């Protein structure tokens, strides 16, 4: 078995991921985890063609992921978002952001040429 090293360079600049698993240093030592892309599961995101035309929503509440991401982009804190949308929890906001980040990894977006 390979040597496990840290992947968090700010916490402990001691190396990078090894093999098919990465290790993250904690106060109790390294923790083995599968690669990031294999851990991405979304228990709080619903994509249902019968609900809002298949737009990804948070827990089927008719609150689109895009709305949550826009609120964050506008500078709102998680607490402010949860106050404005009381059906949401801080975990919902975090998962909406993770979902949006993963969705962007899976797409190729056309960019305008720079001047």
Q: From CA 64, how far away is CA 66, in angstroms rounded?
A: 5
> What pLDDT, on a 0 to 100 scale, did the predictor assign at position 87?
97
Q: What is the pTM of this model?
A: 0.61
> What pLDDT, on a 0 to 100 scale, did the predictor assign at position 41?
80
Report all structural domains of the chain as residue ranges with CATH numbers, in order of start: 1-39 (no CATH), 45-105 (1.10.10.10)
> What pLDDT, on a 0 to 100 scale, did the predictor assign at position 38?
53
> What pLDDT, on a 0 to 100 scale, did the predictor assign at position 114?
72
Q: In 1-115, which residue ranges form alpha helices assigned H by DSSP?
A: 36-39, 65-73, 78-84, 90-105
Question: Which pLDDT tens digits describe the chain residue by residue (115 residues)?
Answer: 333 344 444 443 444 433 334 444 445 555 555 555 555 688 999 999 999 999 999 999 999 999 999 999 999 999 999 999 999 999 999 999 999 998 888 766 677 777 6
> What pLDDT, on a 0 to 100 scale, did the predictor assign at position 31?
53
> Among 102, 79, 98, 76, which residue's Cα sits nearest to residue 89?
79
Contact 24, 30 (CB under 8 A): yes
> What pLDDT, on a 0 to 100 scale, did the predictor assign at position 107?
67
């Amino acid at each position: 078995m390979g040597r496990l090293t840290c992947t968090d360079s700010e916490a402990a600049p001691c190396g990078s991921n090894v093999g098919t698993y990465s290790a993250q240093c904690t106060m109790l030592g390294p923790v083995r985890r599968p690669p990031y892309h294999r851990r991405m599961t979304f228990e709080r995101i619903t994509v249902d063609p019968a609900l809002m035309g298949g737009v990804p929503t948070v827990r089927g509440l008719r609150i689109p992921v895009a709305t949550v991401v826009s609120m964050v982009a506008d500078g709102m804190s998680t607490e402010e978002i949860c106050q404005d949308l009381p059906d949401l929890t801080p975990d919902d906001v975090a998962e909406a952001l993770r979902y949006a980040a993963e969705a962007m990894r899976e797409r190729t977006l056309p960019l305008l040429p720079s001047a």
